Amino acid sequence: MHAQVRANVLLCSLVALTQAFYVPGFSYKSYRDGDTIPLLVNKVYSDNSQLQYAYAQLPFTCPPTGRIRSGRFTSGTSISLNLGEVLRGDRITVSDYELVMGTDEEARYLCSHTMDIDGLRRTKDLIRDGYKTEWIVDNLPGATSLQTTDKQRKYYAAGFRIGEEVRSVQGGPPQYVLNNHVTLVIRYHRAPGRDGEKGRKVVVGFEVFPRSITASGRNESGIPTLLQSEQEPFLLVPRGNSTSEDDESEATSLTAPFTYSVYWREEEKLEWQNRWDMYLMAQDDSSNIHWLAIVTSLVVSGLLTVAVAVVLARTVRGDIAGSQDGVLGASQLALKPSKSPTREKGGLLDKLGDVEGRASLSDDEDTEDITGWKLIHGDVFRTPQHGSLLAPLVGSGIQLLFMAMCLLILSAAGILNPSFRGGYISVGTGLFVFAGLFSGYYSSRIYRTFGGRLWRENVLVTASLVPGLLFATVFILNLFVWIQASSTAIPFGTLIALVLLWLFIQLPLVYMGGWYGFERVGAWSHPIKPNAIPRQLPAQPWRVKTTQAILLAGLPPFMVIFIELTCACNTLWSDKSTYYYAFGFTSIVGAILAIAIVEVSVIATYLLLCAENYNWWWHSFLVGASSALWIFAYLVYYFFSTLHISGFVSGLLFFAYGALACALYALLAGSLGFLAAYAFVMRLYAAVKID
């Protein structure tokens, strides 16, 4: 009965974790009737390109005049951004669109903007690539209103299209329509608390309905006379030019009039703290997929758990119990010439022959599996080759592991959410810098365990490994992005700020952790001291060779995260108008992934030791990191099978950032696998009594 109660409590806890809720923030902003609310324009983005562009710098937009003022905001003012917003390509500016709380505007003239031939070509390219616009009102992105398949619920997809590409029925060249009129529907709710009693309101929805209206048939103010009726679209055809794109000899320019409508509608059922639910409803509809990911992960992890249980509970424990019937003496494990090795009652070899004698023992697989790992007791803790590189890698992986765990916890709890624009990158950067303490500590302890003495050099390598990789990759990619005049390019001032952040904050933290780990705590003590002369390795079975082990061991962890990885890729690249917010599910899958990596590393290490191979240090790290290869292979498949990204720079950004993400994941997973194997080997050999 008690077991059933505990199981029910555990199940309820898992369900609660998957329901990531939204923490609205410390305060809301309420408005009176007649207050002016600024409309912020950010950027344009496309599912078919990795390049983003600042909306205010595009050739078809109306330049701000500064006539709109709301508090400290004036149209044309660039909003100060946090680090995450800058790194994700945001460029937010106050526009000339005038929104007055409670005041409807059936039609309002914004401006008439003239585009030259180069501007027309670029506008057509943006429309052809399916670019969408991101506007912001009261921290809500402008959204396209959609309905679920059963037409019972409405949900939002962020952004709206710049225009449309119209294909000719007769097979002629396509024509391009520019959306030069927008209908803005802003939904509000009575403010909570005393503000609501005073008649103040809060914004809970921001819908944008774009439309293309011809330049003809307008009054003196530039407003269409028949706005509510069907209108001819505004075609991007330069004056004096035919509809053919090839004949532009007489093309000069095109003037586009821009207008907008504003409607305020009260939303009585939607509270302010739940206003992001409309944007996240698409995630709720895919909850069955996430549950399938969890079930699949549990099945794979369960099979691995059974394998580890067999290794630990039967093979290893039985072997240790057999050896503890008598002390395992050094004379029993010494290599002595013998033609016919014999057995003891406990299952141990009393004598070992020469190379021929060992070859004869290989015929009995049970004997090899039981006694193989004991034969290398004098070499299992021998310092690995290139240990001075392995220590910084493990330290950096622990730093990334701490950052990832904290981000998942904060996201699953709702503290990090879409309303905190750029919050994931900003908070992640802060957590990564702070985790430099743990990075330096573990790296220095491992380095001293390997016999290192130059701990300051080790600290410098540890502190520079991941930041150096990130900075070098971003800087090289920026050279390509800057040429495209994309907002994806990181400003030079931000790059300098990142260097200063590394130099004056992270490097000292890594140094402090390294000093404490090396000088005050010191190396880990091993239960067995290495022999003076290394043991010669026998011929290795195929299953423990590095290449085969990496490919095989990486498959189970990849299967654990495959479904969740597909959902994340669809949000990041295939449908950027939706928000990935299933962090409750992701946290559970991430925990199962960590368990799978630990179990795979333990199994692979045990098989390697049974093959009388004591070079398990690098082997465990590479086995833990091996699923990164499968993830990158999946990204390559996803690029060619699902995405429609065109252009060299966009493809370069996809593969470069994908490879960088896989490299960071490999550091994290490899460090986890190394620590699991280290703990397993320490516990295994500490349980055996050796003279």
d(C-alpha 159, C-alpha 143), whole Å: 5
Rounded mean pLDDT, 375-384: 91
| 324 pLDDT above the threshold of 60 | no
Closest CA to 538 of 328, 384, 379: 379
CA angle 151, 153, 156 (to 5 degrees): 110
Span 255-268, pLDDT tens digits: 999 999 999 999 98
d(C-alpha 473, C-alpha 495), whole Å: 12
User: In the predicted model, what is the mean pLDDT of the chain?
Assistant: 84
Per-domain residue ranges of the chain: 35-239+251-274, 283-308+547-690, 386-525
Could you say which DSSP state residue 255 is in?
Answer: E
| 358 pLDDT above the threshold of 50 | no
Worst-scoring range by mean pLDDT, 384-398, 537-551, 637-651?
537-551
Higher pLDDT, 235 or 154: 235
d(C-alpha 536, C-alpha 207), whole Å: 72
Rounded mean pLDDT, 176-187: 96
Which pLDDT belongs to residue 184?
97
Rounded mean pLDDT, 557-567: 89
Please provide the DSSP assignment of 429-469 as one string.
HHHHHHTHHHHHHHHHHHHHHTT---HHHHHHHHHHHHHHH
Span 497-552, pLDDT tens digits: 999 999 999 999 999 999 999 999 999 999 888 888 888 888 888 878 878 888 89
Span 97-108, pLDDT tens digits: 999 999 999 999
d(C-alpha 237, C-alpha 259), whole Å: 19
Percent of all residues in the chain with a pLDDT value above 90, rounded to a whole number? 56
Span 436-452, pLDDT tens digits: 999 999 999 999 999 99
Most confident of 223-237, 251-265, 279-293, 630-644: 630-644
Which pLDDT belongs to residue 514?
97
- Helical residues (DSSP H) of 117-184, grouped into ranges: 117-128
Per the CB < 8 A criterion, the answer to whether 212 and 178 are in contact is yes
- Count Cβ neighbours within 10 Å for each residue of 397-409 and write b for 16 or more, e otherwise: bbbbbbbbbbbbe
- Count Cβ neighbours within 10 Å for each residue of 91-106 and write b for 16 or more, e otherwise: bbbbbbbbbbbeeebe
| 345 pLDDT above the threshold of 80 | no
Which pLDDT belongs to residue 548?
85
Phi, psi of 398 (to 5 degrees): -65, -35
d(C-alpha 104, C-alpha 488), whole Å: 36
d(C-alpha 250, C-alpha 614), whole Å: 78
Which pLDDT belongs to residue 370?
44
Closest CA to 589 of 294, 327, 233: 294
d(C-alpha 656, C-alpha 501), whole Å: 24
| 427 pLDDT above the threshold of 80 | yes
Higher pLDDT, 626 or 323: 626
| 350 pLDDT above the threshold of 80 | no
Which pLDDT belongs to residue 326?
46
* DSSP reduced 3-state for 687: coil
254: left (phi over 0), alpha (psi -120 to 50) or beta: beta
Higher pLDDT, 403 or 146: 403
pLDDT tier, 139 (very low <50, low <70, confident <90, very high otherwise): very high
- Say how far residue 558 (Cα) sits from the centre of its chain: 15
Closest CA to 380 of 541, 522, 550, 529: 529
| 163 pLDDT above the threshold of 80 | yes
Long-range pairs, 457-462, Cβ under 8 A, ≥24? 458/388, 458/391, 458/392, 458/514, 458/518, 459/510, 459/511, 459/514, 459/515, 460/507, 461/388, 461/389, 461/392, 462/391, 462/392, 462/395, 462/396, 462/510, 462/514
Could you say which DSSP state residue 579 is in?
Answer: -
